[in-house]
Structure 1
Amino acid sequence: MAPDELDFEAEYNNRARVPDHPAHIAGWQRDAAAYRGTARCDLDLAYGPGERHRLDLFHPENDDSSGPTVLFIHGGYWQAFDKSSSSHLARGANRRGLMVAVPSYTLAPAATLADIIAEIEMAANFITQRTGRPIVATGHSAGGHLTACLMARPMPQQRPIQAAMPISGLFDLPPLVGTSINRALGLTTDDAQHLSPLAWAPPKSGKLVAVVGGAESSEFLRQSRAIVDTWGKAGVTTRYHEVPGAHHFDVIAGLADPADPLVNTLVELAGEA
């Protein structure tokens, strides 16, 4: 189907596509709270001056002190959730010896998308300064967009992020402009283009694995294929990975399991960071 024939509202409205999404979200909150109660963690570290400039740092069970830090960025179309819904997603990497940082960020409409990108850059800055380690960036949905932004736009006087695993990421934003998702964001078509990682100069090196659920919409599949193709041609080592049968709300579940292919990929990327 040609892009001008697609119903972008249907393609991007994941809550409408997955009617039992409330059960999945409730499960995130339950499992995340349970993991915070047992994990070795430093909670509510301030990475900036704002109310939501806070992150949680989850330490590996083996107290490893040499590997990179995995930075997981939550989704919610830049307008929902916070770090408290994702704590359990640190479990798999923790049990494989990796530290995991999970930040919150100011949500739209209180912040613009450009502001949110800057906040995540500030969080990454804080993590590298606190830990002295490189970062493996990962994130879900809107967090996948922010993951790609971090890798594509190196921070001044900071080590570039060389390894990333966006999950169900959004890299081409103009299709969102006419949807209900844009009510809180207030993006013009020019804004959306300007804030799309696919419109930026790609990194010339590094490794990116774009993950997406096999049961997600054609647009989500297209977005992940597009960044793999575009960045791959620029010199990044890229790979496209579909989680069989997964929809937008369960595609991240494997991060909690140390034996899952997604965690295997994070461990692989840790060797590239």
Structure 2
Amino acid sequence: MAQAEIDLEAEYNNRARVPDHPSHIAGWQRDAAAYRETARCELDIAYGPGGRHRLDLFHPPGGDAGAPAIMFIHGGYWQALDKSSSSHLARGANERGFTVAVPSYDLAPGITLSGIVAEMETAADFLMHRLGRALVVTGHSAGGHLTACLMARSPKALRRPITAGMPISGLFDLVPLVPTSINRALGLTVEEARRLSPIYDTPPLDSRIVAVVGGAESAEFRRQSRDFVAQWSAMEAVARVHEVPGAHHFDVIAGLADPGDVLVETLVTLAAGA
């Protein structure tokens, strides 16, 4: 089907697609707050000068074995939420022995999307310097886009390349967002959207990526993951799609809180080669 025939607003407006999304977001906030109460964590570490340039570090209960650390980037279409909604998603990797970082970033329209990408580069560089180890990056929705951007830009922008990532419900081609309501806060032109689309970037050498998407997500979200994996595979990345059966945009990340879930197992496998 030609893009002009697709109802892009319906395909990309996830809050409209999932009417009970407020209960899911409230659940994230509740579960995240509960995890912060019990986890071994360092909260509100400054990685930059701004008020939202803060990250939380969650440490494994049994101690860190020195493996690559994991960074999780929250979603919200680059214009909502912060790190406080995602703390519980560190649980699964923590219980498998990994340190997990969860950063916040400034939100549109107060910052450009290229500015948000730069903030995540600063956060990633800060983490690699502080921890002295490689990163595996994962993130949800807008965070999936930022995951792929970090990987693509890391050989030039960061102190060491990021070669392993797991974007979840990621956006890899931003051009379809330009005519939608999502772009009101972003203000992207078609040219800017293309420049900030990691599907058009080159993956770092020896990169491995698993693009996760929910089986009940829109056709466009599923297509984005397939097309991204095909494009990066053609440029010699080891890439595949993992579809979570029956999952929609707001419950596709739930498995990260469970150390036995396939999403956590995927992160463990990615970390082994990072």
**Cα contact 2:121–2:158 (8 A) shared by 1:** no
What is the match of residue 202 of structure 2? 201
Query: Which shifted more, 206-215 or 57-66?
Result: 57-66
What is the match of residue 147 of structure 2? 147
What is the match of residue 130 of structure 1? 130
What is the match of residue 252 of structure 1? 253
Equivalent residue runs for 1:1-273 within 5 Å? 1-154=1-154, 155-156=156-157, 158-273=159-274
Match for 2:241: what amino acid? Y
Query: 1:77-114 deviations in whole A, cap 9, x for unaligned?
Result: 00000000000000000000000000000000011000
| Partners of 1:76 and 1:151 in 2: CA distance | 20
SS at 2:148's partner residue? helix
Q: 1:156 to 1:112 in 2, by over 3 A?
A: closer
SS at 1:37's partner residue? helix
| Partners of 2:157 and 2:254 in 1: CA distance | 34
User: Where does structure 1 lack aligned partners over 5 or more consecutive residues?
Assistant: none
| Partners of 2:105 and 2:177 in 1: CA distance | 21
Shift in Å at residue 216 of structure 1? 0.2
Shift in Å at residue 202 of structure 1? 3.1
TM-score scaled by length of structure 1 = 0.98
**Cα contact 1:52–1:104 (8 A) shared by 2:** yes
Match for 2:45: what amino acid? L
Match for 2:210: what amino acid? V
Shift in Å at residue 262 of structure 1? 0.2
Shift in Å at residue 126 of structure 1? 0.6
SS at 2:243's partner residue? strand
| Partners of 1:204 and 1:16 in 2: CA distance | 39
Query: Which shifted more, 150-159 or 90-99?
Result: 150-159
Query: Which shifted more, 104-113 or 201-210?
Result: 201-210
Q: 1:14 to 1:110 in 2, by over 3 A?
A: same
Query: 1:160-193 deviations in whole A, cap 9, x for unaligned?
Result: 0010000000000010000000000000111101
SS at 1:203's partner residue? coil
Q: 1:189 to 1:116 in 2, by over 3 A?
A: same
Moved over 4 A (4+): none
SS at 1:57's partner residue? strand
Shift in Å at residue 205 of structure 1? 2.2
| Partners of 1:62 and 1:79 in 2: CA distance | 36
**Cα contact 2:162–2:204 (8 A) shared by 1:** no
Match for 1:71: what amino acid? M
| Partners of 1:158 and 1:93 in 2: CA distance | 24
Match for 1:201: what amino acid? T
**Cα contact 1:203–1:234 (8 A) shared by 2:** no
CA RMSD of aligned residues (A): 0.9
Figure out how many residues of one structure are paired with residues of the other and give that number.
273
SS at 2:234's partner residue? helix
| Partners of 2:183 and 2:201 in 1: CA distance | 21
**Cα contact 1:55–1:103 (8 A) shared by 2:** yes
SS at 2:97's partner residue? coil
SS at 1:118's partner residue? helix
| Partners of 2:261 and 2:17 in 1: CA distance | 25
Shift in Å at residue 156 of structure 1? 4.2
**Cα contact 1:73–1:146 (8 A) shared by 2:** yes
User: Where does structure 2 lack aligned partners over 5 or more consecutive residues?
Assistant: none
| Partners of 1:60 and 1:202 in 2: CA distance | 30
